[in-house]
Structures are given as C-alpha cells and as structure tokens.
C-alpha cells in the first residue's frame, strides 16, 4: 500500500514537471465563424483558408509572446441562429480572446452585439455594411465599407465607362446589397447619371425573368447588381436570354470562381469593385498568392486575402499590446496611424474613429473567362 503510494507520488511530481512548461505557454485561443457550407460556401472556405494560413505562418515562427495560436473554427451555414450559437460557444466554453468573422454583413450584424456585450474583440474580414462596426468599440473590420465601394463603382461607370443611365437589381433580403445600392444611387445621381429602373429580388430565388423583363423595357446603359455570386450567375444568364446586352456590375460579392463557372459567357464584359487583385505586382501580394497556391492549389480570392490580413492584424495587435487581453488588443488595434499603418496583402490599413479601415479599392473586369485588373481607386 505504502509502496504504491510512493510510486504515485513520484509519478505525480514527474507529471507536474512535465505540465509546468506547457502551462507557461498556454495557447492563445482565437475563434473564427464562417459559412463553410451553404449558399455562399466558397466565401466561407476561402476565408477559413486565409485565417488558417496566417496562423500557421505565425506558429511556424514560434507564435506570439512565446505562445502558439490555437484557431477554433466554426461553421454557421449562413444562418443567423447558427452564428449566435457558435459565438456563445466560442466565448463561454472556449474562452477565446477574439473572433474573426462573419463574412456576410447580415450575419456580422448578429455576431457584433454578442461580442460587444462580452467585450471580445471581433474583426470581420469582409462585411462592408457601415452599421457593423457602429455596434460598439470592440468591433473592427479589415475591408472598406459599402459607402466607398458604391461610390467607386458609380464614379467608374459614369466617368470611365461614360454610361449615363443605370438600372439596379437589389437583393432586399441582404443588408449588403441594399447598402451598396443606396450608395451607388446617391453617388451616381450626384454625378448627373439617371437611375431608370429599380427592381428587387430575394436571395435564393431562381426566377428573375419578371424583374429583368422590366429592366429591359427601361433600356438602361448599365445594370448595377450588388449581390452574392450564387444569385448573380442565374441573373446574368437569364438577362442574356432575354436579350439584355449592356454590361452589369457589382461589388466584392461577385468575387468567386463559381460566378464564371455558372454564368459562363453571360458574365463577359461585366465589372465589379474588389479589395485586391491577385495580378498586382506588389511583392507582398505576390508572396501571398504564391504561398496560397502552393497550400490550397488555387488563386486566392479577395476573401482569402482579407481574412489573412484580419488574422495578421490580430497577431500584430497582440504583439504591440504585449498581452492577449481583449481590451488591450482593442487599444493596440486603434494605435495604427496613417504614418505607421499595418501593411497587409490588401493594402495599408489604419482605423478611423468608427473602426473602419482607410484603404483603396480595385475595379475588376471579367474578360475571356478571367478576372482582369482594371484600376485602383484610392479614398
């Protein structure tokens, strides 16, 4: 009896010695919530890849502040209730210090109040609706906002393409789509352009012929179509079937290889505003594109790049704060300035008072079944 007790004691001392160094470098837990399945799954997968790649790079170099970063990834299927469940799980059970996500603005608007209430830093890589970061002082984003994106497109259409009348087809179920349409309309009419038709649809619809027939009757020079790629493909196909030949254009929601796959020739000569172009000659972009291709076997889209930047922003902030306390990470994120910005793949970033980054946009044309870089627009 006594002997076994002694052995147990020795063993437990040995084990505690083993555990001790492990405890000193407990991993920093960071959560991520993306729509890995569901109607915008390519967005979720690209974003998850970007985040994974960033953290693996950091961990390979020994992590931050001597700790590795542990990524806890959740899939929300692009459903509001799943976003809320995942957020509660990450915060209460996993005790993460920050959450990267969501992709879509409608979903980020569900996630933001939960993070704000628990005082956890949230950084959405891609949600462009202005209301997202207005939820509170713990909510950040890595992308520009709709305001800017809609204006950029209106300028491009009116000034560069010289098209003076536009129609709009808007997804009424999406905050993202409605936001873009509103800012496009404001900027376009201010320039002197005319909106000749305004139609709407619900995400996930499959028959758009009624609306498109009306748009055709209005004879616009250009159709603004802010939405996500899964709806854009069928819309473009049906528009071409009905004999609408003018160019269509949209925002970063178009950025998916699936778009060209579904729309095929119907997408030729269309334009969209985006966060970055993989064709850019910037060395940071080139390294990122090369490493990403090696790892995942495809060219990274803007979502992958933004998510990579969002993850790196967090790492940089933890380094600057010398702590993984959410409140200190928050302060460190706000400490980037115009002269000393964060340098990411999608451009330089520092935050304004609403925690929106100040950065540039690019315009991409779909040509020959490929995305071709057209222009960079600075704020």
Partner 1 sequence: MENIVQQIINGISLGSIYALIALGYTMVYGILRLINFAHGDIYMMGAFLGYFALSFWNFSFPMGLLFAMGGAAVLGIIIERFAYRPLRLAPRISLLITAIGVSFLLENLMVLWLGASPRPFPQKIPLEIYFIGNIVITNRQIIIILVSIILMFLLQFIVLKTKVGKAMRAVSYDKETALMMGIDIDRIIALTFAIGSSLAAAAGVLVGLYFNKIDPYMGIMPGLKAFVAAVLGGIGIIPGAMLGGFILGIAEVLVSAFISSTVRDAVAFIILIFILLIRPSGILGKYMREKV
The residues binding partner 1 (CB under 8 A) are 37-39, 41-42, 77, 172, 199-202, 204-207, 209-211, 213-214, 217, 230, 233-234, 237, 241-243, 261-262
3-state secondary structure 113-124: HHHHHHCCEEEE
Nearer to partner 1, 111 or 215 (CB): 215
Cβ 207 to partner 1, closest distance in Å?
6
Nearer to partner 1, 13 or 172 (CB): 172
Nearer to partner 1, 199 or 309 (CB): 199
Please state, in angstroms and rounded to a whole number, the distance separating the CA atoms of residues 348 and 336: 10
Cβ 237 to partner 1, closest distance in Å?
6
Closest C-alpha to 39, from 275, 244, 290, 232: 232
Cβ 110 to partner 1, closest distance in Å?
18
Handedness of CA 184, 185, 187, 189 (dihedral sign): positive
- Could you tell me if 108 and 101 are in contact, meaning their C-beta atoms sit under 8 angstroms apart? yes
Nearer to partner 1, 158 or 201 (CB): 201
Nearer to partner 1, 166 or 238 (CB): 238
H/E stretch holding 222 reads strand 222-224
- Could you tell me if 199 and 167 are in contact, meaning their C-beta atoms sit under 8 angstroms apart? yes
Cβ 172 to partner 1, closest distance in Å?
5
Nearer to partner 1, 2 or 206 (CB): 206
Cβ 154 to partner 1, closest distance in Å?
23
What's the Rg (C-alpha) of the chain?
Answer: 23
- Could you tell me if 296 and 51 are in contact, meaning their C-beta atoms sit under 8 angstroms apart? no
Cβ 365 to partner 1, closest distance in Å?
22
Please state, in angstroms and rounded to a whole number, the distance separating the CA atoms of residues 88 and 324: 19
Asked if the bond preceding 102 is cis, omega within 30° of 0, the reply is yes
- DSSP class per residue in 52-64: HHHHHHHHHTT-B
Cβ 39 to partner 1, closest distance in Å?
6
- Could you tell me if 237 and 262 are in contact, meaning their C-beta atoms sit under 8 angstroms apart? yes
Nearer to partner 1, 239 or 318 (CB): 239
């Amino acid at each position: 009896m006594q002997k076994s007790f002694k052995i147990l004691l020795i063993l437990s001392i040995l084990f505690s010695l083993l555990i001790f160094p492990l405890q000193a470098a407990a991993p920093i837990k960071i959560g991520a919530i993306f729509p890995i399945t569901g109607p915008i799954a390519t967005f979720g997968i690209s974003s998850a890849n970007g985040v994974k790649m960033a953290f693996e790079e950091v961990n390979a170099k020994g992590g931050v502040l001597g700790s590795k970063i542990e990524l806890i990834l959740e899939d929300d299927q692009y459903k509001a209730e799943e976003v809320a469940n995942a957020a509660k799980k990450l915060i209460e059970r996993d005790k993460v210090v920050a959450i990267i996500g969501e992709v879509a603005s409608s979903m980020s608007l569900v996630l933001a109040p939960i993070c704000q209430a628990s005082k956890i830093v949230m950084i959405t890589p891609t949600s462009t609706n202005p209301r997202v970061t207005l939820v509170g002082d713990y909510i950040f984003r890595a992308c520009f906002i709709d305001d800017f994106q809609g204006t950029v497109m209106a300028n491009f259409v009116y000034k560069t393409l010289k098209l003076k009348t536009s129609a709009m087809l808007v997804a009424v179920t999406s905050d993202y789509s409605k936001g873009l349409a509103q800012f496009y309309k404001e900027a376009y009419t201010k320039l002197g352009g005319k909106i000749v038709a305004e139609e709407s649809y619900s995400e996930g619809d499959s028959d758009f012929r009624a609306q498109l027939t009306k748009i055709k009757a209005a004879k616009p020079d250009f159709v603004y179509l802010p939405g996500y790629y899964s709806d854009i493909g069928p819309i473009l196909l049906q528009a071409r079937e009905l004999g609408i030949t003018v160019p269509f254009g949209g925002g970063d929601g178009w950025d998916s290889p699936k778009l060209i796959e579904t729309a095929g020739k119907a997408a030729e000569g269309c334009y969209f505003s985006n966060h970055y172009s993989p064709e850019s000659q910037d060395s940071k972009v080139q390294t990122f594109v090369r490493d990403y291709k090696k790892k995942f076997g495809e060219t990274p889209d803007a979502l992958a790049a933004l998510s990579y930047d969002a993850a790196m922003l967090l790492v940089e902030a933890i380094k600057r704060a010398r702590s993984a306390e959410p409140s200190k990470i928050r302060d460190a994120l706000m400490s980037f300035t115009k002269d000393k910005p964060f340098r990411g793949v999608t451009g330089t970033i520092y935050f304004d008072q609403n925690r929106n980054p100040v950065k540039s946009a690019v315009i991409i044309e779909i040509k020959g079944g490929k995305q071709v870089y057209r222009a960079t627009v600075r704020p």
